[in-house]
Structure 1
Amino acid sequence: MIAWIGHHLTALREALRHLAAAPLNTLLSLLVIGVALTLPTAGWLAIENLRTLTGNTPGVQQISIFLELDAGQRERGEIESRLRQAAAGSWHFVPRAEALKRLQESEGMAEIIGSLPKNPLPDAFVVTPADSQPESLEHLAETFSQWPKVAHVQLDSVWVKRLDALLRLAKLVVMLLAVLFAGALVTITFNTIRLQILAHADEIEVAKLIGATDSYIQRPLHYFGLLQGALGGLCAALLVTAGSHLLTPPVAELARLYGADFTLQSLSARDFGGLAAIGGGLGWLGAKISALIHLRGSR
């Protein structure tokens, strides 16, 4: 066991030495890998922020339950009890007097409302569902419409479906980009390892003559690909974070102009680790394939 650990530590040191031996080439490779991982990561982060924004924007993915005009305190209490039992999400009650006051504050509506003999607006409950999937929203709206003293249930299901379809399409595009750039990362590592094998062909041949196994020769190459990919993943995370910080002030200002309180979310420490792991795994895969092909060809 100690010997096995020693072999891996030796291979790790050798990989680090190769990375440090050509700092400019290493830096350029990390930037290329970082950019390759940045694009799908930025797309994924944009989709997550869009989901958060639409979930926090007033009026989006909400269900309005309008009661009949003759609904009293007892009927309102029964609706509240049913909402608590359904546990469909958060909700709040809008009295008809408050709804009329809000309507009067709208531009050009004060005179019209003042001419009415009585308040024509009903009491209402506004529900923000926990599950924002279109199918779940429509099922909730259908359930609410069957409750007693409910005159009308309003749900902009067309808007919800369009938004959901747009996000699913964007997610698919990001996945395709991720696959494409993952292949590019493997190719980059493949070519880097191939050049290393060609540059050290004499050393590898001598090592084979004195009894070195293929695993012993390939191990530093695997670590090289792993380290290069992991560092490239961290580079991508730093690029995305820098871009996020630059965009946060203008995005927050734009959200305030539309009456929303929104802060652009950046990558977490877990996301940093995930990108490093993905980059390292793809780098190791490229190194593994390259080493197998070129070392077998040199036999």
Structure 2
Amino acid sequence: MKQWLNQHAQALQLVLKRMLSNKLSTLMMFCVMGVALCLPGILYVIVDNLNRLAGDVQGEPQISLFLKLDIQQDTIKTLDEQLSKHPDIKTYKFVSKDEAWRQLQLTSGTANIANNIEKNPLPDAYFVSPKNIDPDTIERLQKEMQAWRGVEIAQADANWIKRLYSLLELGEKAIWSLVILLGFALVAIIGNTIRLQIMTQREEIEVSKLIGATDSFIRRPFLYAGALYGLGGGLTALILLLGIVSLFNYSIADIAELYASDFHLALPTLIVTLSMIASAIGLGWIGSYTAVGRSLSQFNAH
């Protein structure tokens, strides 16, 4: 076990020494990976904050229940009990037809029309706010309430939230598409870099194989190099992401202040951050493993 650990420690020291002796090329590799990983990170932050904003937005979608004109008080009482006990309803408000009529008469834009009507044509109504603003939940609630006794029309004003959710879903698909494309690109970049390193050390590798070095022994330092490139790229991407989000928050703070809001772009969670760094390390390892495997197969063929 101790010998195995010493072999890995020596391989890691060798890779670190080579990276330090080529600081510029190492830094450039970190920057290339960092920029590539930062792009989906920025898109994720935007979509995640839009999701948060959609959940906190004021003027959330409501379901309007317009009751029948000849409804009885006991039916209204039954509806009130149904609404109060329903698990998917956050709040609800009852507006009587008399109250709605008074508001109509007091509103400047409709006062003249209301004064020319002798009889109140408005129904009693409930305005319901659901707990979940998911479009499917709102549509299900609307259909359920439409079937309730005493309800003439159950109307949901959730078109805007449907459009927003569609845009958020499109954004999530764009993130995954970008992650996959850039992932392939990073694997290719790291693989090409490792392949060039193998070519410069070709004679050293051939001598090592002649004295009995195994493929795993030869592969080990290059795998560490790929993983370290990934680690450096992931940390660089995180630094870039933090800087960009902080820069945006300066401008957003001024805009939010005008609307008496404290909204700001939230940074990725610890789990997302660790996942991004782990993914970068994994991509580096995969690119390195692929390049070393192909090169070793060519050496063995000769």
Query: TM-score scaled to structure 2, two decimals?
Result: 0.83
- Counterpart of 1:268 in structure 2 is 269
Distance verdict in 2 for CA 1:203–1:162, change over 3 Å: same
Residues 31, 65 of structure 1: alpha-carbon distance in 2 compared, 3 angstrom cutoff? farther
| Separation (CA, whole Å) in 2 of partners of 1:101 and 1:215 | 85
Q: Establish whether residue 232 from structure 1 lines up as the match of residue 233 from structure 2.
A: yes
How far did 1:66 drift?
A: 4.0
**Paired residue for 1:65?**
65
What is residue 31 of structure 2 aligned with on the other side? 31
Q: Show the 5 A alignment for 1:1-299.
A: 1-67=1-67, 78-93=78-93, 95-96=95-96, 108-109=108-109, 115=115, 120=122, 122-130=124-132, 132=134, 134-254=135-255, 262-299=263-300
Distance 1:36 1:282 in 2: 12
Residue type at the aligned position of 2:91: W
Q: Are the equivalent residues in 1 in contact too, given 2:226–2:288 (CA < 8 A)? A: yes
Between 257-266 and 233-242, the greater mean CA deviation after superposition: 257-266
Larger radius of gyration: 2
* CA shift in 2, pair 1:102/1:200, >3 Å: farther
Question: In 1, distance between residues paired with 2:194 and 2:42?
Answer: 28
Q: In structure 1, what is the Cα distance between the partners aligned to 2:143 and 2:297?
A: 66
Distance in 2 between residues matched to 1:29 and 1:151, nearest whole Å: 66
Offset at residue 174 of structure 1 (A): 2.1
1:289 Cα shift? 0.3
Q: 3-12 or 287-296: which moved more?
A: 3-12
Query: Residues of 2 paired with 1:103 and 1:22: CA distance?
Result: 77
Shift of 1:290: 0.5
Contact 1:34–1:235 (Cα < 8 Å) also in 2: yes
* Contact kept? 2:65, 2:151, Cα under 8 Å: yes
- The structural deviation recorded for 1:265 is 1.7
> Residue type matched to 1:194 in 2?
R
| CA shift in 2, pair 1:123/1:158, >3 Å | closer
Q: Which deviations, in whole Å up to 9, do the C-alpha atoms of 1:248-287 show, x marking residues without a partner?
A: 2433554565676633221122222111001011110000
The secondary structure found in structure 2 opposite 1:265 is: coil
Are residues 160 and 6 of structure 1, via their aligned partners in 2, closer, same or farther at CA, if it must alter by over 3 Å?
same
Cα 1:239/1:77, change in 2 over 3 Å: farther
Which moves more between the two structures, 59-68 or 4-13?
A: 59-68
* Deviation digits for residues 80-139 of structure 1 (CA, Å, limit 9, x no counterpart): 543454311522425458878988997x4485599588795744233133251x333211
Does the CA contact (< 8 Å) of 1:69 and 1:123 recur in 2?
A: no
Q: CA RMSD in A?
A: 3.2
- Taking the aligned partners of 2:258 and 2:103, their CA distance within structure 1 comes to 20
Q: Which moved more, 1:207-216 or 1:248-257?
A: 248-257
Distance, in Å, in 2 between the alignment partners of 1:45 and 1:74 is 51
- Segments of structure 1 that go 5 or more residues without pairing to the other structure are none
- Return the letter of the residue paired with 2:23: P
Letter in 2 for 1:51: N
Alpha carbons 2:45, 2:265 under 8 Å: kept: no
Aligned pair in 2 of structure 1 residues 21, 112: CA closer, same or farther (>3 Å)? Answer: farther
Structure 2 spans left out of the alignment, 5+ residues: none
